[in-house]
Structure 1
Amino acid sequence: MTETVHVAVYDSLADWEIGYVTTAISNPEWQRRPGRYRVRTVGAGPEPVTTMGGLRIVPDTHLEEVDPGDSAMLILAGNDIWPTEAFAPFVDKARQFLDSGVPVAAACGATGALAAAGMLDDRSHTSNAAEFLQAVGYGGSHLYRDEPAVTDGDLITATGIAPVDFARAIFERLDLYEPRTLAAWYALYGDHDPRGYHDLMASGS
């Protein structure tokens, strides 16, 4: 059975933070179980949104239609609306996912919104900088880790300038690749080591 990975879309979505994620999930090559996952975009409503890069996206579905029990993960990329009420429905949905034991992956400004809602107070996490989260007045600063991406149970957090690390953490949580394949993928895209390509080819043989 195909499982759905929901990618939240909204005006000012930071395109670059999810490019590696959506491409790899949608590409069966090298996957442990090709075709296990599909990507579906989810908006606050059915209306089109425009990303930071100027791309116009019509959501496949909207938040009211998404049940955590029917999803493998909710992914929240950075944006400019995270401190506003426009992002509140996505925060509420993220809380519903975590309460249901379904993973959430958040990067950049989305981590700020989760912090402001108290959702990082008892989980190890990262973000753009410790000061970025301290500015929202949250109670989890003692659990902040200065790393590109951090996984704590069902929650993945990442800085907005490390889309490859964000992707790797998501792939690990979804068990998308065999460990040696994931290591080769990261060597190529994260370390820019051309030997990673050859290792990827070998991992599929």
Structure 2
Amino acid sequence: MKKEVLVFIFNGYADWESAYICSELNELETDYIVKTLSLDKEPKISMGGFRIIPDYDISDYPKNFSMLLLIGGYAWMKQKNNAILPVVEHAVKHHISVAAIRNAANFMAENGYLDTIRHSGNTLEYMKSQAPHYKGDSNFLQKQAVCDSDIITANGTASLEFAREIMLYLKLKSVEKIDEWYKFNKLGFYKR
């Protein structure tokens, strides 16, 4: 039976930020399968216009999932996703990895999850403006993506690096194959 990775979706989620990692996780030869989670079971429409019916809502998700992906979008800035906090709490308490990109990283910062670990985000100034209770300034790294203590963070321009960190964390492939995959997707077929 495949291990479930839950991707939190909501109206206006940034669909491209999870595209690279979800397609890799759903490969036939992996031990993983992607399932969607939302605050309710109503269809959600991504920034790109994809209409998705969530597999689970916050009242019926499986408690033994393998990872929680928090994808960016403007709803985080308006505190419309705060009801996901108990799921994040469950994951952290049970040492289940949480991967957060762009504004979702600010949500993690605002709720104290990044105060004592190395992390990234759009910029330190932006994170502080979006997360007034954040106390992790000294642990902020100017890197595309960072993994520390079961939490992966990335900025909004780092979909590939976000995917790479998740693949490395889950040992989805050998380090060499992950590096090869990353370079191919980053650089393409042709050099400029």
Q: How high is the TM-score relative to the length of structure 1?
A: 0.87
Q: Corresponding residue for 2:13?
A: 13
Deviations 1:2-30 (A, max 9, x none): 100111110110011000011111123xx
Q: What's the CA shift for 1:179?
A: 1.5
Separation in structure 1 between the aligned mates of residue 189 and residue 84 of structure 2, nearest angstrom: 37
State whether residues 41 and 60 of structure 1, in contact with CA within 8 Å, keep that contact through their aligned partners in structure 2.
yes
- The aligned residue for residue 98 of structure 1 is 92
The answer to whether 1:165 aligns with 2:165 is no
**Is the contact made by 1:6 and 1:73 (CA closer than 8 Å) also made in structure 2?**
yes
Verify: 1:56 aligned to 2:22, yes or no: no
User: What is the deviation of 1:89?
Assistant: 1.6
Cα deviations by residue, 1:131-178 (Å, 9 ceiling, x for unpaired): 111112210011000000000021000001110000000101111011
The equivalences for 1:113-132 within 5 A come to 113-132=107-126
Q: Paired residue for 1:80?
A: 74
Distance in 2 between residues matched to 1:85 and 1:108, nearest whole Å: 14
Residue 144 of structure 2: aligned partner = 148
Moved over 2 A (4+): 83-86, 190-195
**For residue 175 of structure 2, what is the aligned residue in structure 1?**
179
Is 1:124–1:151's contact at 8 Å kept on the other side of the alignment? yes
Q: How many residues align?
A: 189
Deviations 1:35-57 (A, max 9, x none): 41111001111111111111111
- Change in CA separation of 1:185 and 1:48 when aligned onto 2, cut-off 3 Å: same
CA contact (8 A) 1:91 1:113 kept: no
Counterpart of 2:46, as a letter, is T
1:5–1:73 CA contact under 8 A, matched in 2: yes
Aligned twin of 1:46:
41
Two-structure CA RMSD over aligned residues (Å): 1.5
In structure 2, the partner of 1:4 is: 4
The one-character-per-residue Cα deviations of 1:69-118 (angstroms, maximum 9, x if unpaired) are x1110001101111334211223311220111000000000011111111
Q: Which amino acid aligns with 1:59?
A: P
Q: Please give the per-residue CA displacement for 1:113-133, whole angstroms capped at 9, x wherever unaligned.
A: 111111111111000111111
- TM, length-normalised to structure 2: 0.93
Amino acid of the structure 1 residue aligned with 2:95: G
Q: What is the rounded CA distance, in whole Å, between the counterparts of 2:30 and 2:115 in structure 1? A: 36
Q: Secondary structure at the match of 2:54?
A: coil
- Matching residue's letter, 2:96: V
